[in-house]
Structure 1
Amino acid sequence: MKQLIIYAICLFAVISFAQNAKIDSLTVRLAYQNQDSTKVETSLLLINELYKVEDYKKALLFIAQTSELSKSLNYDKGLAETNYIKALINSEQDDLGNAVSNFEIARSYFSTINDTLGIAKVNNNLGVIEIQRGNYKKGLQNSLSAISIFEEKDLKDDLSKAYNNLAEAYFNTGKLDKALQYNKKALSVREELDDMEGMKSSLKNLGQIYALNDDYRRSIDNYERMLTLLDSDEKDIRGAVLPSLGKSYLAIEDLDKASDYLREGLRYSRFQKDELGILKSLNAFGELNIKNKRLKLAENQLLEALKLAKKLGDDEELLYNLKLNTDLDSKRGFYEDAFNWQNQYYALKDKLDKERAAAVKIPETSIDDTIEDTPPLIEKKEAVEAQNEALATTEQEDQKKQDTLLIYGLIAGLVFITALLIFSYLKSSKDGKSNKKFAKENKELALKNAQLEEVNQVKDKLFSIVSHDLKDSISSIKAFLDLLKDGGISKEEFNELIPELSENANNASSLLFNLLNWSKSQMQNLQPKPELFNIQEIFQIKISLIEKKVNDKGIILIDESRREFVYADRSMLEIVIQNLITNAVKFTGKGDVITVSNQDYNGKVLICVEDTGIGISEENQKKLFNAKKNFTTIGTENEKGTGLGLTICKDLVELNNGRIWVESTPNIGSKFFIELPKAALSE
């Protein structure tokens, strides 16, 4: 070991001596040169060497002199390079305002001399600064514009920086698929460069992203590989990674390894007095001990973590803690306490959701199709103040009032639509009898009569559904409201029932939605109003509506859609896409994957909603699109259906000159395909 240290010291001394000798040599040469462009070039070499050894004071002195000489000579290259290095020094000194100003001046000079590499380097550094400031749109634009130049010239150092820059921007704007892509690229380049620090950073980022995507085994692989690269004295980094690694093992139910890593992480964090590390370890330990039924120990750990989360103002860990406390008291049978924890959890979640909704968004840009509308920031930490609790309580009470009003309004709407359907049923029955009377007189009339008879049969089925499913939902809601009205339950007890009532209302609303759209398509000869529109926009809208359910069920949803135009009735296709995605969520569970995509297929647009859920037997596949069968099954969490959704989908797709079909294997998953035209069909 001593020999190794001596060797390192000697090597450092040799390198330092060589650098100093080079600086001295350039200084001497500069003193004897004429005031021309050659002197500018020598000065630039000297400035670069001074920048490398971080002698910024002397570098800035030579930059000022070289800039003046370049101006007198009208030497744009000298002005470009001096402003560029000056901006780098400003950036190193955290003088970001001057850094941006000097980078922009340098870029204008690089543009004048058509130096694409210089422009790319400036853009990449501007990207770093804009991302540091939270201006993710500008950061992405600048870095993306630099990438192609760096890749073309195979500039590994610049590529490493650019890829990492893009990965950070995409991560902070919720584009995890893009963040994953660029972190992988950054890691690959850093491995080629043997950049140990860069590799550690990329592996840590990959571990975090895979965990957020619920791909815990890959998360574990990257975290563990990072740990092998750490030196023994890097205790702070080890302490930060171990809780995350333990949490990933916890997610795959490997409780022994989770315990080992969390224990080691907590020990490191306490030794380093790293309160954030302690908080993360205690929260994860609390979950572990709940799983192991060590409830008293879990209570103590979660209480300490709760105090730390409030002290640090870490809302994400506080949210996690409130959820764990809800689970803990539910398991102990302390339902009133569990309900209070749950109220705090939803109040904080609503607050965070509102903050995220108001956070930075990246609008569409013309740089290339990789920049899209992006979701809000993944994390936003703000201090938790005392008044937040009162605000959260008020918001929760307002939400309960809205829920109650919604339930009353839904009942009134359902009663109205039920009466409407009964009237339609009676009227159609009368029409059917009338048609039968004249059927013998005219063959054409007989055919119409047969069609009306079929419609009547469908309406019979609709009426049957209304009298059972809809009646059950309304009766359940009405029973609880009557209890509250008559004093059979207290307001507190009613508040506990709100989640169940909300679920009933959602089921009834879904039923009503499908009945209305089916009624339109079957009873009113619904005519499509086709137009050209971007199918990717429909996917993005519908995915945003089911994000909460996806997260609640632990499902991974992958959006592989791309910008492509279809010719159809937009509102009809929205109904179809919503039904298919909702069905995919219904029949998948934790760890399953739903993928939505579209592609060009024989001159048409082929849309696919694929899942790795429970699948459909060949026998049941034949029933899916048949209105007379009214086929429906229970979802993975006992979700109920109407049996009409796919029938509606078939009708609406066919009205738009398309077709719909399914490919499915039990216990493997299902693929629902829609084929639609890209333009109006020729007559």
Structure 2
Amino acid sequence: MPHQPAFLLSRIYILIVMILLQAMPLLVIGQSVPDFRERLEEASTSHEFQSAFDEMITIFHAGKLHFQDDDVITIVNIARDKKFSEKILPSVYGWAGTMFGNGRMNDAIVFFMESAVLFEKQNNKIGEAHSYFEIALIQHKAENYEEAKEYYTKTLAVGGDSLHYRTIINCYNGLALILREQEVYEQAIRDFRKAYQVASIRNDTAWIAILAGNIGSVHLRQQNYDSSLFYYFRNLKLIRLTSEFENEIETYAHLGRVFVKKKNYPMALRYLDSAQYIISNRQIKFNDFFNPMDYIDESYAFLYAGLGDYKKAFEYQNKYYEVAREKQLLINGRNLKQLQATQAFKQKQSELELLQKINEANVAIISQHRYVKIAFGIIIALISILAYIALRTGKVRKKLNDKLSYSNRELARLNRIKDQLFSVISHDLRGPLGNLQAVLDLYKIGGLTPEQYEGLLAELNHQVKASGNALENLLQWARAQLGEVKTNSEKIILRDIADHVSDQFRRNLAEKKITCDNALTDEHIAWADKNQVEIIMRNLVGNAIKFTPANGSIKISGERHANAVKVIVEDTGIGMTEEETQKLLHHDEYFTKLGTNQEKGTGMGLLICKQMIANNGGSMEVVSEKNKGSVFTFTLPIAQYDTAQVNHTKI
């Protein structure tokens, strides 16, 4: 074939042209984050900056750019350094808030608040309203309901009819959801209907379906089950026309709950299984703000209890408590984070105002340079005054920074206290109370025979007593952390306190066949707070019992020294490793593990002991070896008096 080489060359040429044509869009838009940073830095006018910024956002939304947190902060700083910063910062702050909205929520709020302030100065109502709306969404996610209501209302008031209709729907829906949680049902339905009316005018099928379901949820809470079914079936019919799988899952779950309430268990099982099928078949991944499994598991528990299958009912009840606990832990601390965000914003605003005043003064100085030959002395005076002002400003700022540093440390300490309180409440108080509620519910509906109920009473009684002890330790620890514990020292006989504590644990000692020897004598007398010393001994003896196996022994003894008395609590228990001992002695952490009979504790007891021993001017030591027992010792001061004159009074 004589023309074959020419044919091959033409095919290669066409192929190269096609490759170049396909690569052209990539050459145009294939810019990286550093490229855009460079373009933004080089922009000499607000128009150039805004053009590059808008292009960057467009490419980001197309999924071709990815920003790290440092990239966002860098771009914000570039915008702040521009001479025309007031024109571009509102949109840059809004973008930065959006980038941080799902993670660093406190930073996002600061950026949106700054954006709103600047939009207000520009009389840009839509921009200002949009910033308020983003703040409302973040506060709503953090369950700061009053703040969320405030900013939803601000959004509607500032934006008015100029807002996008979906923003209006979101505001009314958000307000109604909060009112529903606050059990203000009639007003919640009114706001849901306002949103529903806007969605109907716009023929927005997805939102019509969602709002029908939300109205149905209010009727469910009001126990108007037939009305609830009417709205949920309307929701289901419409939502199947959309791709809103999350709403479809929740609708099936709600229909299952309604039929459980109506005792139509076959229908309830059908809809709950449908929700589970979608989750499994589509491999749904839950996040912080969408996880209906606690609601579904609780509905299954009610269903199987109604069917008389109490084993499955208990299994699903336990699943419900576990998911609910995890969700609660995820939102713990957000209120304090929002408080810190608000303080950070106020500080930033103060700094901006101060810098603005300093800049205005500098402009005045520059203007005066034109008249240097005429008013040289005045300029020197102004410079001296400004230097004095700067010095005073520096001192004031240092004082403010010191106060802010102290406030941040105090907030961090309160945050740790709050986390520990939530942890104890979730792990050690909520579980036993939930078990008690579950048993009572089953007994009430006839799910337990009197014999079964009697068999569970002993275990429930044990759990309630354990919860009572945990609550007492928790309250004592919280009061100590908040500085509410006062120490009233007096002459006390330690032997009498030890007798009283041993008597309190008489049943526990008998159950594990443990002997408790009180070797303290009348000579072991201290000058301390009697109630606090009893709490210290009760925690140490309780721990000894907890970690001592059956047929073991505990000994309480003492040593009198010149200025102090030492109390020794020694057991033949399971002891601790060096690592566990160090955790126990750490002053900022609490440490707990199960006892020899699977006894639970809060981990607060020894923290309370250390605090109260310090309050009374003493110290504590721990010596322990794995499988060989532990020795806890603490010292208390001795007043200078004649021991023969002390009255022997039992506590």
TM-score, normalization: structure 2? 0.46
**Structure exhibiting the larger radius of gyration computed from Cα positions:** 2
TM-score, normalization: structure 1? 0.44
